[in-house]
Amino acid sequence: MTDFLKISDEVRQALAQHKPVVALESTIISHGMPYPRNVETAMNVENIVRENGAVPATICIIKGKLVIGATPDEIEYLGKSGLKVAKASRRDLPVLLSKGLDGATTVASTMIGADLAGIKVFATGGVGGVHKGATETMDISADLDELANTSVMVVCAGCKSILDLKLTMEYLETKGVPVIGYGTDELPAFYTDKSGLKVDYRLDTPCEVAAAFKCKMTLGLKGGMLVTNPIPSEYAMPADVINDAIEAAVTEANRLGVKGKAITPFLLDKIQKITGGESLESNIKLVYNNARLASLIAKEL
């Protein structure tokens, strides 16, 4: 395992001393935002984790090593390289690691890295799910199966609103993944704080969330927990504005035949352009908000 895993000294020491650690993904750096905002955002997220009493562990793949706790130079490298870096999910890990390549980890592969290192809390923007039209395309994110199998809590602003949220919730229910609404009974929809769908349970404090996850682990129940944290209302986008932008972006993707790994970065970029950059600002703010909450939960856990 040590041949493929590289844990930073800071993260290793924090774990040995039972200090709170928060895992962070790297796809958001290379595939989620343009340079240099991506690097600036990633470093700000790490600072927010520290300010809230936890140790950040940005996870990525560098030269065939699954890095747990990327350095500022490694984050800069991922940000500058952008789409040249492979988008790495579970299925990509064996080849990227064995061939000594680089990769930016998705929610699924970040969960794997966190679990291997012993990190139980992970903050991200939004998770993948069942894509629109999946009844024909079968386009379902590996993030959902990872949540069903890997014991890491994922704190997010809900599932990405480019998805079919109703089918995503049905899939999570089938897989036995608890979907928690932090301070809300309604599933957040990434850019907006409401989707019209109910979460499984509402919990109102970091202590309550940590207690539920600890109970899950004590019982030996396989899989993670999805904690959905609404975007702060002052940064939320009007539902009609973002929904129109999503519909236009999806139409364009279908016209161009964009599929697979390319679809999410394509849609996010297209939505950003349609909204004049407003969606990017909302994206950044919700990531910051999730990093704060994840840090507080990790401290309680």
Q: SS3 of 38, please?
A: helix
On whether the CB atoms of residues 199 and 165 are closer than 8 A, the answer is no
On whether the CB atoms of residues 153 and 203 are closer than 8 A, the answer is no
Q: Tokens for 225?
A: 């927990």
Q: Tokens for 241?
A: 């504005």
Q: Tokens for 193?
A: 């704080």
- Other CB atoms within a 10 A radius of the CB of residue 233 amount to 8
Task: Please list, in sequence order, all residues whose beta carbon lies within 8 angstroms of the beta carbon of residue 186, skipping any fewer than 6 positions away.
Answer: 193, 194, 195, 196, 197, 198, 199
DSSP annotation of 88: E
Q: Tokens for 21?
A: 């650690």
Question: From the candidates 6, 65, 120, 160, which is the catalytic residue?
Answer: 160
- Percent composition of the chain: helix, strand, coil (DSSP 3-state, to 5): 50, 20, 30
Measured distance CA(273)–CA(165) in Å, rounded = 23
Q: Tokens for 276?
A: 């004049």
Q: Respond yes or no: is residue 186 known to be catalytic.
A: no
Q: Tokens for 198?
A: 């109910």
Question: From the candidates 25, 46, 76, 278, which is the catalytic residue?
Answer: 25
Q: SS3 of 282, please?
A: helix
Q: Respond yes or no: is residue 25 known to be catalytic.
A: yes
On whether the CB atoms of residues 162 and 171 are closer than 8 A, the answer is no
Helices (H) and strands (E) in the chain, counts: 13, 11
On whether the CB atoms of residues 91 and 29 are closer than 8 A, the answer is no
User: Rounded to an integer, what is the distance from CA 228 to the centroid of its chain?
Assistant: 11
Q: SS3 of 278, please?
A: helix
| Residues classed as catalytic | 25, 160
